[in-house]
């Protein structure tokens, strides 16, 4: 028999159907992404810039990529109007068009794949893109990720009601779409990201009724806080939302004061509102970054899990850069877009140059300890909740079920053995891993892929294990980082020589020979590997 040069049933040598090749692919068209795209085009690179905004209404309904909480106004259904509003909200989009950048809005990147020791099949950097109609692959020499920010979810009874939403979603709806539904908003959290969001929402015409903060003092910028107070916003420190009430959507937030130990105590009060904005933890969007295999680490000065970068914004994967909010979030950067734009400029300057050994410059100390702060919020709101609610809304998992690692209720498993054990007894020694908990409880396994619950799950595990947030591993991300209909997958054709071999996994004929026919000795030379066989 001929010796095969490579296994014909493996991916080796099989071409990928690449639609386009570009010098630089920029993912995300915010301040940093636009600066990167315009800068690269000015340097003479061919640039493709994709931004998933305007997000399809249905995708918003799934709280992907942000926690929209059904806070979209009716006009959000009008895609053309949303496209126009989005472009009008950012003048540099026009500038990018004029600079020769191939700008594609309404186009999401759902996967990024890098050639490497564990993925030799890729011809280089390959991105999976999709708009509402089509899915395709693009190969890029360089990829600059400008994926933005998102918010930690924070649960309490009623948080599943329409009107409870993340700060970044509210901000985008209000300032980039003109499609924010709630008119009277209570905001949880008082960090700079919370306060700047509050001011921007107020500027866009929304009333900011109250800022609710569990800490004894506001943690953000004093001048921003004063501006809100002067505008009529009530500042409620050492308070927590006990419940979102309303028949079909939020009509009021019930708040309570916390005692010295962080327990809700004393009288509760209802604040009339139609929106509750969660702004207790703004964090970099790293779904695509982690799924691609870039190193990420908990970096408090960057707002939580963020990519590990060098001084030129390089990630751990060659020719992949991260800029803007996905590279890290801190108070000064939130207030001054020039910082994010400078990151983009550094990345553009680094394109095509050899990697230096310098690590990223040290950043200012965080305005507060984000681990302690987030844990305190989860303790006050989730652990001390007055009634059970689903921390994981997609899969309907409660905090108690997470901490007791209970099987999902649809199994109707009544045996209570194990559930009186500690987390260490259940999961083994070492920091509890949210992925392990996910597999056993399903928390984080649903269509939103944990966007609403992942930080809460991590915080619950940290509290139960008496560990800081930084000790809890990241619940991993995988492609597709945006939900993709099966019907859309046919758009990328499979190499015919690859399509022939699906019925025999690993191409091993001998594996499926019944045991009563197995020869006593196996050698490659005597093995008959011809003819069809089906694996089980």
Partner 1 sequence: MSEIKGASVVIVGGGVTGLSAGWWLARDGVDVLVLEKGLIGWEASGRNGGGCSHHHSPLFAEEQRLWPIMDELLGYPTEFRGERIRLASSEHQMALYGRALRNAERQGFQSAVLDVKQAKEMVPLAGDTIVGGYHYKFGGHANPHRTLQGYAWAMQDHGGRILQHTTVTGFRSEGGRVTAVETDRGVIGCDSLVLAAGPQSGRLSAMLGQEIPVQSARCEMIVTEPLPLMPLGGVDGCGLYGRQTLRGNLAYGGGPHEWLAMAEEGTPAKPTSPLMLHMGKRLAELLPKAAHARIIRSWAGVIENTPDGRPVIDRLASQANVVVATLSSVGFGLSPASGHAIRDLVIDGECSFADISSFKLSRFAELEPNWRELQGWQVTAATEALAA
Query: Among residue numbers 485 through 514, which ones bind partner 1 (CB under 8 A)?
Result: 485-492, 494, 498-499, 501-503, 505-506, 508, 510-514
| Backbone CA torsion sign across 354, 357, 359, 361 | negative
Can residue 527 be called a binding residue for partner 1 (CB under 8 A)? yes
What is the spatial distance between Cα 260 and Cα 157, in angstroms, rounded to a whole number? 23
Contact string (CB under 8 A) for partner 1, positions 421-440, x = contact: ----xx-xxx--x--x--xx
Can residue 7 be called a binding residue for partner 1 (CB under 8 A)? yes
Nearest in space to 125 (alpha carbons), one of 145, 147, 105, 148: 145
Can residue 520 be called a binding residue for partner 1 (CB under 8 A)? yes
Site for partner 1 in 100-119 (CB under 8 A): 111, 113-119
Can residue 409 be called a binding residue for partner 1 (CB under 8 A)? no
Q: Which residue has the tokens 């866009």?
A: 204
Kind plus residue range of the DSSP H or E element containing 41: helix 31-42
Query: 126, 144, 186, 209: which one contacts partner 1 (CB under 8 A)?
Result: 126
Residues in a beta bridge with 268: 256
* Complex with partner 1: residue 20 or 494, whichever CB lies closer: 494
Can residue 466 be called a binding residue for partner 1 (CB under 8 A)? no
Site for partner 1 in 273-302 (CB under 8 A): 291-293
Can residue 70 be called a binding residue for partner 1 (CB under 8 A)? no
Q: Closest separation between CB of residue 502 and partner 1, Å? A: 3
Kind plus residue range of the DSSP H or E element containing 438: helix 434-441
Site for partner 1 in 16-55 (CB under 8 A): 16
In degrees and rounded to multiples of 5, residue 225 shows phi and psi of: -65, -45
* Complex with partner 1: residue 400 or 522, whichever CB lies closer: 522
Can residue 360 be called a binding residue for partner 1 (CB under 8 A)? no
Query: 395, 402, 423, 452: which one contacts partner 1 (CB under 8 A)?
Result: 395
* Complex with partner 1: residue 230 or 515, whichever CB lies closer: 515
Q: Which two tokens stand for residue 380?
A: 């006050």
Q: Which residue has the tokens 């020769």?
A: 100
End-to-end CA distance of the chain: 27
Nearest in space to 142 (alpha carbons), one of 329, 290, 327, 349: 349
Q: Please tell me the total number of residues recorded for the chain in this structure.
A: 536
* Complex with partner 1: residue 267 or 523, whichever CB lies closer: 523
Can residue 66 be called a binding residue for partner 1 (CB under 8 A)? no
Q: Which residue has the tokens 């046919």?
A: 490
* Complex with partner 1: residue 74 or 524, whichever CB lies closer: 524
* Complex with partner 1: residue 349 or 533, whichever CB lies closer: 533
Whole-angstrom CA distances from 336 to 145, 165, 264, 329, 332 are 19, 25, 37, 11, 6
* Complex with partner 1: residue 387 or 524, whichever CB lies closer: 524
Q: Closest separation between CB of residue 336 and partner 1, Å? A: 29
Contact 390, 397 (CB under 8 A): yes
Can residue 420 be called a binding residue for partner 1 (CB under 8 A)? no
Q: Closest separation between CB of residue 453 and partner 1, Å? A: 14
Nearest in space to 27 (alpha carbons), one of 111, 97, 134: 111
Site for partner 1 in 303-342 (CB under 8 A): 314-319
Can residue 525 be called a binding residue for partner 1 (CB under 8 A)? yes
* Bond before 39 cis per omega within 30 degrees: no
């Amino acid at each position: 028999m001929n010796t095969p040069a490579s296994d014909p049933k493996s991916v080796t040598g099989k071409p990928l159907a690449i639609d386009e090749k570009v010098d630089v692919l920029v993912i995300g068209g915010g301040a940093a992404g636009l600066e990167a795209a315009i800068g690269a085009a000015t340097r003479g690179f061919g640039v493709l810039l994709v931004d998933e905004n305007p997000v399809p209404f249905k995708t918003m309904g799934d709280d992907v990529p942000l926690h929209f909480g059904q806070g979209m106004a009716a006009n959000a259904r009008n895609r053309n109007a949303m496209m126009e509003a989005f472009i009008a909200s950012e003048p540099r989009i026009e500038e990018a068009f004029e600079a020769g950048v191939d700008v594609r809005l309404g186009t999401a990147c759902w996967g990024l794949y890098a050639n490497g020791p564990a993925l030799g099949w890729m011809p280089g950097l390959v991105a999976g893109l999709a708009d509402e109609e089509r899915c395709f692959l693009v190969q890029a020499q360089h990829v600059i990720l400008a994926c933005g920010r998102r918010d930690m979810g924070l649960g309490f009874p009623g948080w599943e009601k329409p009107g409870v939403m993340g700060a970044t979603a509210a901000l985008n709806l209000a300032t980039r779409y003109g499609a924010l539904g709630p008119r009277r908003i209570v905001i949880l959290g008082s960090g700079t990201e919370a306060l700047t969001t509050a001011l921007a929402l107020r500027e866009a015409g929304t009333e900011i009724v109250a800022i609710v903060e569990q800490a004894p003092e506001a943690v953000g910028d004093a001048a921003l806080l004063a501006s809100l107070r002067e505008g009529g916003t009530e500042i409620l420190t050492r308070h927590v939302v006990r419940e979102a009430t309303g028949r079909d959507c939020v009509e009021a937030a019930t708040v309570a004061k916390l005692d010295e130990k962080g327990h809700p105590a004393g009288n509760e009060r209802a604040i009339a509102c139609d929106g509750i904005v969660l702004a207790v933890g703004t964090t970099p969007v790293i779904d695509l970054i982690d799924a691609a295999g870039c190193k990420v680490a908990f970096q408090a000065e960057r707002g939580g899990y963020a990519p590990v970068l060098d001084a030129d914004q390089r990630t751990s994967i060659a020719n992949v850069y991260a800029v803007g909010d996905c590279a890290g979030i801190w108070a000064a950067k939130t207030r001054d877009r020039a910082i994010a734009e400078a990151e983009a400029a550094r990345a553009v300057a680094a394109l095509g140059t050899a990697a230096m050994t310098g690590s990223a410059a040290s950043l200012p100390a965080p305005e507060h300890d984000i681990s302690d702060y987030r844990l305190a919020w989860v303790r006050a709101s989730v652990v001390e909740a007055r009634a059970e609610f689903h921390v994981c809304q997609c899969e309907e998992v409660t905090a108690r079920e997470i901490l007791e690692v209970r099987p999902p209720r649809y199994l109707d498993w009544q045996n209570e053995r194990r559930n009186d054990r500690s987390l260490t007894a259940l999961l083994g020694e070492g920091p509890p891993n949210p992925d392990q908990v996910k597999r056993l409880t399903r928390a984080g396994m649903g269509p939103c892929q944990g966007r609403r619950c992942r930080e809460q799950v991590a915080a619950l595990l940290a509290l139960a294990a008496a560990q800081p947030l930084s000790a809890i591993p990241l619940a991993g991300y995988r492609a597709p980082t945006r939900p993709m209909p099966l019907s859309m997958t046919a758009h990328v054709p499979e190499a015919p020589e690859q399509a022939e071999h699906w019925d025999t996994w690993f191409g091993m004929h001998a594996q499926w020979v019944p045991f009563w026919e197995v020869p006593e000795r196996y050698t490659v030379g005597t093995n008959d590997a011809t003819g069809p066989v089906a694996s089980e």
